Amino acid sequence: MNRIIKKIVSCMTGFAMLMAVNISSVYAVESLQSAETELTDGTFTYEMVNGTYTITKCNTTAIVGSIPEYRNGYSVTAIGDYALSNCTAIGSLKIPDTITSIGDGAFAGCTSLTKVTLPERIDKLSNGIFMGCSSLSEVDIPDSVKTIESYAFYNCSALKDVELSKKLVTIEPMAFAQCSSIENIDAENTDAFTFSDGILYDRNKTTIYRASTKLTGEVYIENTVKSIEPGAFSVCAGIERLFFPSSVETIGDDAFGYCVSLKKIDFARGLKSIADIAFKNCVSLESVEFPLTLTEIGEGAFFNCPELNRVIIPESVETIGTGAFVNCGKLERISVPKSVASIGENAFAYSLDDDGNYVLDKSFDMSVYSDSAGIKYAKDNGISYSAVDKNLSGLVFILIGAGGAIVIIVFAVVLMSKGRKSASYSARKAKKLAKEKEEEENYRNIIE
C-alpha cells in the first residue's frame, strides 16, 4: 500500500496497530512471569507490580460490570495498556477508586460500552483510552483529571455531551476527533477552557479544540484564534461555508475532515500551514483560493474532494505534499508558481481505483515555470503542461490580495459597527456576491 493511502487511514488504524503490537508484547512478557506474580480469575489476568495488582488483560467474551478492588488480599491499583481492549461484552462499567492508573488504549474497541464511571484518583485519560467505543454515550470525568491525551475519545460516535474536569489544563490533538454526535462540551468548571457558540476554545480563544457537530451554514472563526487543532471540526456535516480571520496561522491534521456539506472556504492572509488530510472527504467543496502567506499544503490535504474544480496557488507556497489533491476529479488544470520547491508524489492529476491504485488523469493540464519543481513533476508523471517564464503571477496575486483586502476592510467595518452576530443578512449577502464575482474574474485572469 502506498504512502498517501497509509496517511489517509492512519487516523483510523494507527492505534489498532499499536494495540496489536502492545498486546503481543504483553503476551511475550507474561510467558516469562512466574506463577507467583501472575493471577487469573477467569475474567481478568493480574500481574503483581510493587506490591499491588495491575490488570494486564481481559477475557474478551466475559460480561464485565465492574473492576475488583482487591484480589488475594492485595489492592488492584492499575489497568495496563490495552488490558480490556476489544472486550465487546462490556455494557457499563464502574472502576473503583483503588485504581490510580489506566494505560493507553485500555478500553479501545469496547463497542458495547455505553457508560463508564472513572475513579477519583487518576490524573489523565491516556492515549486512545476509549478509542472506537462507538456506543459510549456517558462518561464521568473526575475532577482529578488534568490531561486528556491524544485520541482519547476518537470515533466515539454516540458521545453527545462531555463535562470537563475542574483541574483540566491540557487537551491533546485528536482527543475528540471523529466524534460525529458531539453537541455540547461543558467547560463551566474549568479555568483553562471555554465553550462558546458551539466551539471549544482555550480560555483566551487562541486555539480551537473541538466544535459541535450541530454547527450549520456559515461559520465565522473568532479573530483571536491562531491555531485549529487536529480533528477540531471533523464530521461537522452541516457546515457550508467557512470564514477565517487573519489571526489563524495553522490548520491541523484532519481539522475539517468529513465536512461533507462544505462548499466554500474564505481563507485570510496570515495562514501559513494546512496540515495533512486537513480537508479530506469534503465532498461538496468546489473552490479554494489560498492566501499569499501560505507556505505549506500537507499530504492528502484535499484528498477526495470530487467537486473541487478551481484551485489558486499563490507565490508564497513552497511545499505541496504527497497526494494533496488525489480524487479531485473535477480539477482539470493547475498553475504552479516558481516558489514551489517540493511537490510530493501523486499530488495532482491522480485518482484511486477500487483496489487503491493510482490512476493518472491524462486530460489534466499544468501551467508551470521552466526549471522548477512544477515542470519536473509534470515531466515525471507524463502530464501535459505549458511553461510560463514571464514574471506576471506575482503582480496578479498582488492585485488579488489588494482586491480581497478592500472587500475585507468593508466587511470589517460592517462587523465592527453591528457585531458579528447582528450583521444584517443583506450586508453578508452583498459581501458574498462581491467576493464571488471578484474571485471568478481573478481566476479567469490567472488561467488566461
What are the DSSP calls for 273-328, one per residue?
EE-TTTTTT-TT--EEE--TT--EE-TTTTTT-TT--EEE--TT--EE-TTTTTT-
Measured distance CA(209)–CA(168) in Å, rounded: 13
Domain that holds residue 37: 1-191
Give the SS3 label for residue 28.
helix
- Interval 279-286 mean pLDDT: 98
- Paired strand residues for 275: none
Same domain, 237 and 311: yes
- Interval 307-328 mean pLDDT: 97
202 assigned to some structural domain: no
Measured distance CA(365)–CA(37) in Å, rounded: 67
343 assigned to some structural domain: yes
Give the SS3 label for residue 389.
coil
382 assigned to some structural domain: yes
197 assigned to some structural domain: no
**What's the pLDDT tens digit per position in 242-265?**
999 999 999 999 999 999 999 999
**What's the pLDDT tens digit per position in 333-378?**
999 999 999 999 999 999 999 999 999 999 999 999 999 999 999 9
Same domain, 47 and 152: yes
Quote the number of domains for the chain: 3
Report the candidate in 302, 289, 293 with the shortest Cα–Cα distance to residue 272: 293
Same domain, 336 and 399: no
Same domain, 405 and 373: no
CATH number, domain with residue 367: 3.80.10.10
| Average of per-residue pLDDT values in the chain | 86
pLDDT of residue 389: 72
Q: Quick check: 398 pLDDT over 90? A: no
pLDDT of residue 388: 82
119 assigned to some structural domain: yes
78 assigned to some structural domain: yes
Same domain, 239 and 134: no
Distance of CA 341 to the CA centre of its chain: 26
Q: Quick check: 428 pLDDT over 70? A: no
Same domain, 344 and 400: no
**What's the pLDDT tens digit per position in 87-143?**
999 999 999 999 999 999 999 999 999 999 999 999 999 999 999 999 999 998 999
pLDDT of residue 5: 52
Same domain, 308 and 403: no
pLDDT of residue 263: 97
Final residue belonging to a domain, choices 388, 403, 430? 388
pLDDT: which is higher, 439 or 277: 277
Question: Residue 304's pLDDT band (boundaries 50, 70, 90)?
Answer: very high
pLDDT: which is higher, 417 or 442: 442
Same domain, 269 and 367: yes
- Interval 261-277 mean pLDDT: 97
207 assigned to some structural domain: no
Least confident of 58-67, 70-79, 182-191, 253-262: 58-67
What is the dihedral sign for C-alpha 185, 188, 193, 196?
positive
Q: What is the pTM of this model?
A: 0.82
210 assigned to some structural domain: no
Same domain, 287 and 404: no
Same domain, 57 and 107: yes
- Interval 307-317 mean pLDDT: 96
Same domain, 60 and 115: yes
Same domain, 180 and 49: yes
